[in-house]
Copies of this chain bind each other. A is one copy, B any other.
Amino acid sequence: MRKGVRVTPGRPVDLGGRRPGATHGLADRDEAAAAVEAAAARMAEHATRLAADARRSLLVVLQGMDASGKDGTVRRCIGALNPMMVRITSFKAPTTQELAHDFLWRVTRELPGRGQVGVFNRSHYEDVLVVRVEGLAPEEVWRPRYEAINAWERNLVSEGTAIVKIFLHISREEQAERFLQRLRDPRKNWKFNVDDLAKRERWDDYMEAYEDALQRTSTSWAPWHVVPADHKWARDAIVTEILADTLEGMDLRYPPLAPEVRAARADLEARLAAGADAG
C-alpha cells in the first residue's frame, strides 16, 4: 500500500495538508496504467479464492464529494472483478421506509454474503456527513453515530468481513472543472444535479465533517484511506492496489478437494471410458 494513504487510527486528520493532486510516487499515466494492470491481476486472483472459499466477505465503502470520481472508481477498479461476485449499491437520499428505521438498517440489508464483494457508493457515513452539514438531524442524533458505526463495523469484521473505506479527495477547483464538463456535454448532463451546487457552497463545512468522520472511525479493524483523486489515473492505481493488498492479506485458499468430489470424478471418468454415459 502506498505510504501515507492510510489514516492512522487515533490521529487527527488534516485534509488541507493532503494534496488532492498527489500521485504517491506514480510518475505518469503509463506508470499508473502498469500499476493498475499488475494490481488488478492480483486482485482478481485473490477474489476468485474469496468466492471459492465462501467463508469471508469484502465490503468496500466509497465516499467523496460530488464528482470526486466514485462512479469512475467502481467502473475502473471494481470492473476488473468477476461481476457475478460483486454487488454494488448506490445510497441516495433515504426513502420513507428507510427513514422509519435506524440509520444502519438500509446498509445492513445490502451487506455482501460470504464469498462476495459488496460495494457501497456512499454509505452509512452520509449519516454523519450530509446529515450533519445540512442539519437534517440535531447533533444529539448524529454525534453518537461514530461510536455506533465503529461497533457495527467491528462486529462485521469479527464475523469474517474485511472492510475497505476509501475517501476520494478532490480539490474544489477540480470539482468545478468536472461540473463544467458535465454541464457542457449533452451526453453528461444527466449526471448533474442542481443540488450539487448548493453542497459545493458548503465545501469547508463538508471538509470539516469529513475530517471528523475519518478521525473518529478510522479503526484498526476498518481503517480509512484518503486517496488523492484529482488525477484519475493515480486514483485508479492507488485504489486497485488497496483492494489487491486487502484481499491478499486475507490469506484466502482454495478449499481442499472434498472426498465426494474425488469419488464423483472417478465415477464420471469410469463411465465415460466404458461408454456407459449415454443418459
Q: Is A220 among interface residues, defined by CB-CB distance under 8 A?
A: no
CA distance A204 to B264 in the complex (A): 21
Residues of B with C-beta under 8 A to A184: 265
Contacts A194-B264, A257-B189, A268-B197; A87 near B84 (Cβ below 8 A): no
* Closest CB in chain B relative to A200 CB, distance in Å: 8
Cβ contacts A244-279/B at 8 Å (1 or 0 each): 000000000011011011001101110010000101
Residues of B with C-beta under 8 A to A168: none
Residues of B with C-beta under 8 A to A78: 83
Q: Is A131 among interface residues, defined by CB-CB distance under 8 A?
A: no
- Partner of A257 from B172, B186, B203, B269 at Cβ < 8 Å: B186
* Closest CB in chain B relative to A33 CB, distance in Å: 19
Closest to A279 in B: B203
Residues of B with C-beta under 8 A to A186: 254, 257
* Closest CB in chain B relative to A84 CB, distance in Å: 5
CA distance A52 to B65 in the complex (A): 21
**When the two chains form their complex, are residues B190 and A264 in contact, meaning their CB atoms are under 8 A apart?**
no
Task: Give the interface SS of chain A, mostly helix, strand, loop or mixed.
Answer: helix
CA distance A192 to B204 in the complex (A): 54
Contacts A79-B83, A83-B83, A84-B88; A204 near B279 (Cβ below 8 A): yes
CA distance A88 to B48 in the complex (A): 17
Q: Which of A163-213 contact B (CB under 8 A)?
A: 172, 176, 179-180, 183-184, 186-187, 189-190, 192, 194, 197, 201, 203-204
Contacts A180-B268, A197-B264; A254 near B84 (Cβ below 8 A): no
Q: Is A71 among interface residues, defined by CB-CB distance under 8 A?
A: yes
**When the two chains form their complex, are residues B255 and A190 in contact, meaning their CB atoms are under 8 A apart?**
yes
Residues of B with C-beta under 8 A to A258: 189
Q: Is A75 among interface residues, defined by CB-CB distance under 8 A?
A: yes
8 additional A-B pairs beyond A79-B79, A84-B121, A172-B279, beta carbons within 8 Å, are A48-B187, A74-B82, A87-B87, A87-B88, A176-B272, A183-B261, A189-B254, A192-B261
A sample of 27 cross-chain residue pairs with beta-carbon separation below 8 angstroms, ordered by A number, consists of: A48-B187, A52-B187, A53-B190, A74-B84, A75-B83, A75-B84, A84-B90, A84-B121, A172-B277, A176-B272, A176-B277, A179-B268, A180-B268, A183-B261, A184-B265, A186-B254, A186-B257, A189-B255, A189-B258, A189-B261, A190-B254, A192-B264, A197-B264, A197-B267, A197-B268, A201-B279, A204-B279
